[in-house]
Amino acid sequence: MTPLLVRSMLMVFFASVVGSFGAVFLKLGAMRLTKSVLSFVNSRLILGVVLYLGSSVIYALGLRGGPLSVLYPMVSLGYIWTLLWSKLFFNEALTRYKFAGLGLILVGVFLVGLGSGG
Amino acid sequence: MSTIPTNPASPVDTASAHRRSSIIVAACTALGAVAQILIKVGMGPAHFVPTPMGLLTDFPLIAGYAFYGLFTVAMVLALREGELSMLYPIIALTYVWVTLLSYWLLKETPNLYKNLGIVTIVIGVAVLGRGGRK
């Protein structure tokens, strides 16, 4: 593994964690929405959007430095973190359908990465 | 961070609200995909000029980010009543649309891995969708 690839993998890994927290804060902000459009301006939503945008910039930089067949599955780590947080912070039920569905999605994303060259 | 109680709605209301928000997100992944394609085109050599004026007149790039904004608003509205563990993985449908749009608009060559991948993602989302109904 070249240093560039290691750096890219670390960036994509970091982006997946940041993005999953972005999703958590979007959910927290969404739960505070009222009928008023102004309720969109709340600190949780803003933090969620900032984390989400931040993660997409880090992804974009990281994905340039290595083969997508390696990096795309790492992008998918974000789905796993988010599943973990949704149980931990929102006490959502993790059914076998959710695990099976997510497993298939991860395989699918891996295959798309394989097909996207390199 | 503590768990915040959701609205004391009846189970039937909750189930239909979950289903509604899943459908919203699934439909909106098409918006997200159009946004990605527009941003890719806008970042391409034909449009991208790295000056403030150049960026402001890069129509595909601006339109791409506008679509992305719309997608985010829809996602937040859906998250108001839906489960994060259900809605977030549905966003993977974006890969399906992006792949298909890239074949069609960007003339990328289809290949077996990509085709198998998008079919698997669609099946995964369908399986996941059953989870909301228990």
ipTM: 0.87
- Residue B60 makes CB contacts below 8 A (sequence gap 6+) with B38, B39, B41, B42, B47
Q: Which tens digit of pLDDT belongs to each residue from B72-120?
A: 899 999 999 889 999 999 999 999 999 999 899 888 889 999 999 999 9
Confidence of residue A105 (pLDDT cuts 50, 70, 90): very high
Mean per-residue pLDDT for A19-26? 95
Chain B residues with CB-CB distance to A77 below 8 A? none
Q: What is the pLDDT of residue B2?
A: 47
CA–CA distance, A109 with B2 (Å, rounded to integer): 32
Confidence of residue A108 (pLDDT cuts 50, 70, 90): very high
Q: What is the pLDDT of residue A71?
A: 83
User: What is chain B's mean pLDDT, rounded?
Assistant: 85
DSSP H helices, A31-115, are 43-63, 68-75, 77-90, 96-115
Q: What is the pLDDT of residue A14?
A: 94
User: What is chain A's mean pLDDT, rounded?
Assistant: 89
State the CB neighbour count (10 A cutoff) for residue A16.
22
**Domain presence at residue B31:** yes
**Residue B8 above 90 pLDDT?**
no
3-class secondary-structure state, position A2: coil
Query: CB distance from A83 to chain B under 8 Å?
Result: yes
DSSP state of A40: G
Chain B interface disruption, residue of A105, A110, A114, A116, most B CBs within 10 A: A105
Chain B residue with CA closest to A20: the answer is: B88
Q: What is the pLDDT of residue B129?
A: 84
Mean per-residue pLDDT for B43-51? 81
What's the gap in Å between the CA of A69 and the closest CA on chain B?
Answer: 11
In this complex, which of B72, B79, B125 lies closest to A27 when CB atoms are compared? B79
**Domain presence at residue B3:** no
Note whether B83 contacts A105, CB cutoff 8 Å.
no
Note whether B80 contacts A30, CB cutoff 8 Å.
yes
Chain A residue with CA closest to B125: the answer is: A101
Note whether A105 contacts B75, CB cutoff 8 Å.
no
Locate tokens 């739960």: which residue? A31
**Domain presence at residue B10:** no
In this complex, which of B72, B124, B129 lies closest to A108 when CB atoms are compared? B124
Q: Which tens digit of pLDDT belongs to each residue from B56-76?
A: 888 998 999 899 889 989 999
**Domain presence at residue B9:** no
In this complex, which of B83, B95, B134 lies closest to A112 when CB atoms are compared? B95
Task: Note which residues in 2-21 of chain A have CB less than 8 A from chain B.
Answer: none
**Residue B11 above 70 pLDDT?**
no
Among candidate residues A87, A68, A71, A109, the one with its CA nearest the CA of residue B84 = A87
Number of structural domains in chain B: 1
Mean per-residue pLDDT for A55-66? 84
Note whether A79 contacts B116, CB cutoff 8 Å.
no
Structural domain boundaries, residue B96: 15-131
Note whether A49 contacts B72, CB cutoff 8 Å.
yes
- Residue B55 makes CB contacts below 8 A (sequence gap 6+) with B49, B61
The rounded percent of chain A whose pLDDT value lies above 70 is 98
3-class secondary-structure state, position B50: coil
Q: Which tens digit of pLDDT belongs to each residue from A86-100?
A: 999 999 999 999 999
Q: What is the pLDDT of residue B3?
A: 52
Locate tokens 């039937």: which residue? B12
Query: How far apart, in Å, are the Cα atoms of A83 and each of A17, A80, A91, A95, B122?
Result: 12, 5, 10, 11, 19
**Per-domain residue ranges for chain A?**
3-115
